[in-house]
Amino acid sequence: MRAIEFTDYGPAADVVRVAEVPEPHAGAGQIRIAVRASGLSAGEVRIRSGEMRAAVTPEFPYRTGFDAAGVVDEIGEGVTGVAMGDEVFGWTTMAARGANADFDVLAAWAAKPSAWGWEESGGAAGAVESATRVLDRLAVGAGHTVLIQGAAGGVGTVAVQLAAARGATVIGTAGERNHEFLRSLGAVPTTYGTGLAERIHALAPSGVDAVFDCAGGALPDLVAIAGDAARVVTIADTTAAAHGVHLSHGAPSDETGKTVGTADPLAVHALALAVKLADEGRLRIPVAAAFPLTEAAAAHELSESRHARGKIVLVN
C-alpha cells in the first residue's frame, strides 16, 4: 500500500515521499479502515523541519499521520459495537502513526457524523483530541474567559468551538483577514503581535482565566496576560519550560493503545463529544485545503507557511 513518510530532516520537497509498505492489520481491541481522508499533523511538519529536535528524536524513515477517517474493513479480537463497512473517524497509536496511507489501524474511533464529509472527518480526531486535552487541563468552563493564540489554525478553530460549547467567552488571535471567520465560530477576534496585552485588556478588563497557545513564539506576553504561567498551556512552543509553561502533547502508547510515559494522556472522550456537537450543528471542522497523497510535500509546505485557515488533509 501507499504511505507517506519523510526520510530525514529537510525541505518537504526533498524528504517527503510516497512509499510502498506492507499493509497493517487490526490487533486485539483495534479496527482497520480503508482510509478516505487523513489529517496532516502540524507537529510532524515541525519534526520534519528540525524545529522539534530538542524535544523529539525521530527514527527515519518517519511514517506520518495520526488521525484518519474511512470504512471499516478489519475488526480485531474483542471489538464490539462496530461492523464491517461502517464509516468511522479516529486515531492510531502514537507509536504506530502511519494514518497518511491507504489503510490505517485505529486504536480509538467513533461513527463519522452525518454532517461531516470525508475531508472534515479525516482531519477531525487529532484536532478534537488536542483541543479537548488542553481545555481539560486548563479547566475551562462556563463563565470563564479564554484566550486562544493562533485561533484560525487546525487546532485553534476547533478549540474556539469547544470552549464556546462549554459556555466560555473566547478571544482568538489571528490575522485581520480571518477575523470575520473567527466570529462565525464564536470567538471575539483580535490581532497577534505587539500590543497584544493592551488589546486583551480592552476586550476583557477583568482579565482572562486561561490561555491556550496554538502558535508559539509569544509565551512571555501570554504569561503576562494570564498573570500566572500555570494558566497557560502550549502545544506549539518548545521553549515552554523556560517560561514555566506546560507543553502539552499526547502521551505515547504501545501497540495495544495503552498509555506509556509521562506526557498528557489522550482525551479519548473527545470523540463522543465531537459526534454529539456535530450532530447538533455546533462543531464543524474547517478544512484549509485537501491534497491527494501524492502531493503530501505540498501539504507540508502549506502548513509551514502558517497561512492555512483550518485543517490540512490528505485524501485517497
Q: What are the pLDDT digits (tens) for 137-184? A: 999 999 999 999 999 999 999 999 999 999 999 999 999 999 999 999
Same fold, 2-123+285-315 and 128-247: no
Domain spans, the chain: 2-123+285-315, 128-247
Closest CA to 309 of 136, 189, 132, 129: 189
Architecture per CATH, domain 128-247, reads as 3-Layer(aba) Sandwich (3.40)
CA distance 175 to 2: 37
CA distance 149 to 174: 8
Computed over every residue of the chain, the mean pLDDT equals 94
Please check the confidence at residue 65 and state whether its pLDDT lies above 60: yes
Query: Facing residues of 89 across strands?
Result: 69, 110
Q: What is the pLDDT of residue 213?
A: 98
Closest CA to 211 of 187, 199, 190, 228: 228
Q: What is the pLDDT of residue 252?
A: 53
CA triplet 44, 48, 50: central angle to 5 degrees?
115
Query: Facing residues of 63 across strands?
Result: 5
Q: What is the pLDDT of residue 57?
A: 85
Q: How confident is the model at residue 249 (pLDDT cuts 50, 70, 90)?
A: confident
- Neighbouring residues of 3: CB distance < 8 A, sequence distance ≥ 6: 18, 19, 20, 21, 63, 98, 100, 101, 102
- Neighbouring residues of 156: CB distance < 8 A, sequence distance ≥ 6: 148, 149, 150, 172, 174, 214, 215
What pTM value is reported for the model? 0.93
Cα distances from 291 to residues 68, 110, 242, in angstroms, run 14, 24, 37
Average pLDDT over residues 213-217: 96
CATH of span 2-123+285-315: 3.90.180.10
Q: What is the pLDDT of residue 251?
A: 57
Q: How confident is the model at residue 196 (pLDDT cuts 50, 70, 90)?
A: very high
Tens-place pLDDT, residues 264-278: 889 999 999 999 999
Please check the confidence at residue 255 and state whether its pLDDT lies above 50: no
DSSP class of 294: G
For 215, other C-beta atoms within 10 Å of its C-beta total: 22
Question: Under a CB-based contact definition with an 8 Å cutoff, are residues 205 and 171 in contact?
Answer: no
Please classify residue 106 by burial: count the beta carbons closer than 10 Å to its beta carbon, then call 0-12 exposed, 13-18 middle and 19+ buried: buried
Question: Under a CB-based contact definition with an 8 Å cutoff, are residues 31 and 109 in contact?
Answer: yes
Tens-place pLDDT, residues 84-130: 999 999 999 877 889 999 999 999 999 999 999 999 999 999 999 99
Please check the confidence at residue 68 and state whether its pLDDT lies above 50: yes
Closest CA to 219 of 191, 199, 189, 196: 196
Q: What is the distance between the terminal CA atoms of the chain, rounded to a whole angstrom?
A: 12
Q: What is the pLDDT of residue 257?
A: 46
Cell, residue 292: 491527494
Q: How confident is the model at residue 260 (pLDDT cuts 50, 70, 90)?
A: very low
Helices (H), the chain: 12-15, 42-49, 118-122, 124-137, 154-165, 179-185, 196-203, 219-226, 270-279, 296-305
Task: Name the 3-class secondary structure at 62.
Answer: strand
160 vs 307, which has greater pLDDT?
Answer: 160
CA distance 208 to 146: 6
Mean pLDDT check: name the lowest of 54-68, 169-183, 241-255.
241-255
Please check the confidence at residue 216 and state whether its pLDDT lies above 90: yes
Tens-place pLDDT, residues 5-56: 999 999 999 999 999 999 999 999 999 999 999 999 998 999 999 988 877 8
Please check the confidence at residue 254 and state whether its pLDDT lies above 60: no
CA distance 210 to 193: 18
